[in-house]
Chain A
């Protein structure tokens, strides 16, 4: 059974940093692109970043470029999102998502999400 379990969310002050983790099981992580998607309270879905299987390609939404870094460790079945210079606009539930095998963004499996709250 495919499972994605996020962790690392919490309350952080504006300007602070946080590192999210996603542990994957039930499939071979190295065979898939992986993505982070977020959803602010009461708002819609927003794609945040995606990373290729071998880490050779990484893409980000404009609003996080230069602040967030997506990474992965296939040997540890893990995906990460390093978030720096956080602002209140980054407050959201962050989902780890696995795109279908032939795509880099259409996700057929999602984690349960981890809540990041940026507030003073």
Chain B
């Protein structure tokens, strides 16, 4: 079955840039979405269609894609950004959806 691979954890100091990658063979064909989830809360969409930002999401959140890897970047990380982040995309046939395993972002 199709899989998206994320690093389990990323740590950065406040004010630095955090980059979280997500790799998958179908990513060149299918859009990627990114979610932020804090403990006890439902996920929040932070990036859609690879690099678009929903209204209300701070400009420090951005997305990019290069081949089979998509990247969520958070520029000028703040303490409030500490959370789990998940990428999501569809498989090559566009009949199944998968999430990456999630990345725990720690703000030192």
Contact = CB atoms under 8 A, between A and B. Distances in A.
Interface of A: 35, 37, 44-47, 50, 59, 61-62, 95, 100, 103-108, 110-113
B95 interface: yes
A111 B43 CA distance: 9
B89 to A, nearest CB: 8
Given A45-B35, A45-B102, A108-B48, 6 more contacts: A37-B99, A44-B86, A46-B99, A59-B95, A107-B33, A107-B43
B42 to A, nearest CB: 4
A16 B72 CA distance: 41
Interface in B79-108: 84, 86, 88, 90, 95-102
A116 to B, nearest CB: 16
Nearest to A61: B96
B66 interface: no
B98 A47 contact: yes
A103 B31 contact: yes
Chain B's interface size range is 20 to 34
B88 A108 contact: no
A110 B42 contact: yes
Contacts of B99: 37, 44-47
Nearest to B89: A105
B43 A106 contact: no
Nearest to B6: A44
A98 to B, nearest CB: 10
19 contacts: A37-B99, A44-B99, A44-B101, A44-B102, A45-B43, A45-B99, A45-B102, A47-B98, A47-B99, A59-B96, A59-B97, A100-B48, A103-B31, A105-B97, A106-B33, A106-B49, A108-B45, A111-B42, A112-B42
The CB with the most chain B CB atoms within 10 A, among A46, A47, A104, A112, is that of A47
